Amino acid sequence: MIETRELRREFGGIKALAGVTLMVAEGERRAIIGPNGAGKTTLFNVLTGELEPTAGEVRLAGENVTGRRPHELARRGVARMYQRNELFDPLPARDNVAIGVAAAAGPYRPFRAPPASELVAADALLERVGLAGRGSVHHRTHRVARPVADARDRGARHGRRLPDRGAHQRAPRRPRHRGGHTLRGARRHAGQRGLPREGRRMTLAVRDLHAYYGESHVLQGVSLDVGEGESVALLGRNGAGKTTTINAIVGFVRPRGGTVRVGDRDITANPPHRVAAAGVALVPQGRR
């Protein structure tokens, strides 16, 4: 059994965990649910020894293991499994899901076409998660096309129509490219090339940023620019490194490589209060 008592973790003035108490019995499954910034990853990092809590306790089978290192907790049976983000790129969504259906049914037999029963089951699963009729879409195209299509539909309902462009741009494959390339793409329509407009002043410039949690290389060469008066969105699934990118910029996570600059000022690895003094602040997502 693993148990937490009034677990707290603070990053500067931000309370990521504010008195979390939970109990997971042997053989029991629990889900931690919340929006970005709610503290889900921080809780797992504390439970697995990647971070030390500011206050509170972590107990395993009655033993106080607060502050123990990851390898010590692993010897006691506490291990972390990361979400797998890789799919079979040449295959559309339906075939990717059918492979999972076949694997769950028993020993997988490669080099064969999936039977009709597996494809029917795959279609049912796609419908369950709101992807009915999208089984022929390849995942890299779909990641960009779906938000654009949904936004276009919302605009039409309010009497406006978004231009029909940008949906065909493919997102980069590797996580280390996702940050820089996706953010640069957010400032331009699909098909446009080149640097930002001449004369635009770069307020924030991140170059080749690398960050780790223990031995996990979370950020791998992220680069992005934010110009004066510009809004930039960082897109990606859970585990892609969105929160870590923000935390590395504002000083909550110390990068092991790369630079962060505000204007002509280098703020790389500065503590949060100095980053804030330079004009960069983190506004957590509202959760009420």
What pLDDT was estimated at residue 84?
65
- Topology adopted by domain 2-76: Rossmann fold (3.40.50)
What pLDDT was estimated at residue 205?
92
Rounded (10°) CA dihedral 7, 13, 16, 20: 30
- Topology adopted by domain 202-278: Rossmann fold (3.40.50)
What pLDDT was estimated at residue 188?
37
What pLDDT was estimated at residue 21?
93
Query: How far is it, in rounded angstroms, from Cα 74 to Cα 254?
Result: 25
> How does pLDDT run across 29-40, given as a tens digit for each residue?
888 888 878 888
In this predicted structure, the answer to whether residue 133 has a pLDDT above a threshold of 50 is: yes
> How does pLDDT run across 164-185, given as a tens digit for each residue?
443 333 334 333 433 333 333 3
What pLDDT was estimated at residue 28?
87
- Percentage of residues of the chain with pLDDT beyond 90: 23
In this predicted structure, the answer to whether residue 75 has a pLDDT above a threshold of 50 is: yes
Look at 94-98, 155-159, 198-202, 233-237 and tell me which has the smallest mean pLDDT: 155-159
Q: Which two tokens stand for residue 171?
A: 């997102």
For CATH 3.40.50.300, the residue range(s) in the chain are 2-76, 202-278
Q: What angle do CA 125, 127, 128 make, to 5 degrees?
A: 65
Q: Which are the contacts of 126, defined by CB distance < 8 A and separation ≥ 6?
A: 93, 94, 97, 132, 134, 135
**What single letter denotes the amino acid at residue 248?**
A
In this predicted structure, the answer to whether residue 258 has a pLDDT above a threshold of 90 is: yes
What pLDDT was estimated at residue 164?
44
Helix, strand or coil, per DSSP, at residue 152 = helix
Look-up: residue for tokens 């971070």?
Answer: 51
In this predicted structure, the answer to whether residue 112 has a pLDDT above a threshold of 60 is: yes
Query: How far is it, in rounded angstroms, from Cα 60 to Cα 210?
Result: 33
Q: What element of type H or E holds 103?
A: helix 93-105
| Residues 62-71, mean pLDDT to the nearest whole number | 90
Query: How far is it, in rounded angstroms, from Cα 227 to Cα 203?
Result: 5
Q: Which are the contacts of 161, defined by CB distance < 8 A and separation ≥ 6?
A: 152, 155
